[in-house]
Structure 1
Amino acid sequence: MRFENSGLESLKLDLNRLDEVMENNGMVRAGQWDYERVTYDYKFQIKEGIYYLRIPGYAVEGDVGAHDAYIQLMTPMLGKHYYPHGVEYGEDEYFPAHLVKQCNQIIANIHKEAEVFAE
C-alpha cells in the first residue's frame, strides 16, 4: 500500500537531520542504506501479522556513507511480512484500518517535524 500525496515526496533534508526526525518518530534506518539510498522502517507486530511502514529516499547530493548527503524522500509504503519470502506491498494485501490510521499519523508527524528543516 502506497501513501500517495503524503507531502514527504516534496521534502529534501540533510541526512543527519533526517536521521534525527525519523528516530524521533520510531523509524529505524539501521543497515538499510547504500551510498545513494536510504530506507527507514517502522515495524508493527500485531495480531494480524508483521507489517512494515517503509519510507525510502535517495541522495540528491553527497554521500550517505560519509554522513554528508541531502536526501529526497519518496512515497511511504506499508507492507506485510511473509516468512521466508519478505515484504509484500500489493494492493491485494489486507491492511487493518487501525494500522493504516496509525501509519497516516506517523507520516503526518514526520512531515510536520521534517518540513522545518527541508530545503
Structure 2
Amino acid sequence: MRFDNSGIENLSIELSRLSDIMKEAGFILAGQWDYERVTYDRKFEIKGEIFYLRLQAYAIEGEIEENARHTVVKLLTPILGKYYYPHGVEYGDGETFPNSLVEQCTRILSQVKENISAVANL
C-alpha cells in the first residue's frame, strides 16, 4: 500500500538528520543501504501477522555511508507491506491491511513529515 498523499515524497534532508528522526519514530536502518539508496523500516505485529512501514530515499548529494555527514537524500513515497514467510514482504494492491494499522501509519508519517520539515532547510 502506498501513502501517496503523505507529503513526505520529494522532501530533501541531510541523511544524518533523517536517521535521527526515523530512529525517534521507531524505524530501523539495519543494513538496508548502499551508496545510492537507504531504507528505513518500522515493524508491526498484529494478531500473528507482521507488517512493515517502509520509507526509502536516494542520495542527491554525496553518497550513503554509515557515518556520512553531508549527504543529502530525497524521500520516496512511503509504503506498507505484509510479511509472508518464507517469501518476504508484499506491497501489492491485492493486500489488505487493518484500518487501525493504516491509521497508525498515517499518524506516524504525519509526525515524521513535521519533524523533517522542521529541520530540512533545503
**Smaller-chain TM-score range?**
over 0.9
CA distance in 2, matches of 1:52, 1:101: 14
- Match of 1:14? 14
CA distance in 1, matches of 2:85, 2:64: 30
* Displacement after TM superposition at 1:10 (Å): 3.0
- Match of 1:101? 103
Secondary structure of 1:28 counterpart: coil
CA distance in 2, matches of 1:29, 1:14: 15
With normalisation by structure 2, the TM-score equals 0.94
Question: 2:47 corresponds to which letter in structure 1?
Answer: K
* Structure 1 unmatched runs, 5+: none
Secondary structure of 2:9 counterpart: helix
User: What's the C-alpha RMSD, in Å, of the aligned pairs?
Assistant: 1.0
- Match of 2:90? 88
The within-5 A match list for 1:24-35 is 24-35=24-35
* Displacement after TM superposition at 1:64 (Å): 0.9
CA distance in 2, matches of 1:91, 1:55: 18
CA distance in 1, matches of 2:102, 2:81: 11
* Displacement after TM superposition at 1:48 (Å): 5.2
The within-5 A match list for 1:52-63 is 52-63=52-63
Question: 1:57 corresponds to which letter in structure 2?
Answer: A
- Match of 2:64? 64
CA distance in 2, matches of 1:86, 1:114: 29
Aligned length: 119
With normalisation by structure 1, the TM-score equals 0.96
CA distance in 1, matches of 2:30, 2:73: 16
Q: As a proportion of its length, which structure holds more strand? A: 1
Off by >3 Å, runs of 4+ in structure 1: none
- Match of 1:115? 117
Greater mean deviation of Cα atoms: 60-69 or 8-17: 60-69
